[in-house]
Amino acid sequence: MRHGCKVNHLSRTHAHRVAMLSNMATSLIMHKRIETTVAKAKALRVYVEPIINRSKEDSTHNRRIVFSYLHSKEAVNELFREVSQKVANRPGGYTRILKTGIRHGDNSEMCIIELVDYNENMLKETTAKKAKSTRRSRAKKVEAAPVEAPVAEEAPKAE
């Protein structure tokens, strides 16, 4: 029984789980979105959000701590140069999980986990909705003048 254990072990040993989450976090930072199972995505969100939060302040100490989690110089540089600029004003919630259905092979729930500030499609929709929406009261009824029915002309009778 779990009895308050908050970590999803994902049926893996500790070393395997940490290595998998490190690789998935590196892929998420490099590609901005990855497709995985819902359970792995929820575990990855808990793993990667503190790393992204630490990247807001660029210092040698923070770079070394992030490198100890990611083990990739390219991912650390990408995180501190580009990603941290986009998330600078955001107080948290750097990732989004979008469920995509089930996998046909084993019926697992699949999803896409992505960095929130890098989805251009959703960013465009929010700005378009704000510009377009207006609040209106009940539409006023406009009464039109009664239209006279055209009188059908009688055809001349042939004699």
Q: What is the pLDDT of residues 51-60, one digit of tens each?
A: 999 999 999 9
Q: How far is CA 106 from the centre of its chain?
A: 25
Q: Strand 95-102 relative to strand 33-37: parallel, antiparallel, unpaired? A: unpaired
Which pair of structure tokens corresponds to residue 106? 């084993």
Is pLDDT of 65 > 80? yes
Distance CA 159, CA 156 (A): 9
> Which amino acid does the sequence have at 79?
L
The answer to whether 26 and 77 are in contact (CB under 8 A) is no
The answer to whether 22 and 71 are in contact (CB under 8 A) is yes
pLDDT of residue 115: 96
CA atoms within 13 A on the CB side of 74: 7
Is pLDDT of 141 > 70? no
Is pLDDT of 139 > 80? no
Average pLDDT over residues 14-26: 98
pLDDT of residue 153: 66
Average pLDDT over residues 128-146: 65
Is pLDDT of 152 > 70? no
pLDDT of residue 1: 82
Q: Which CA distances in Å does 147 have to 141, 143, 158? A: 17, 12, 33
Average pLDDT over residues 54-74: 97
Prediction pTM value: 0.75
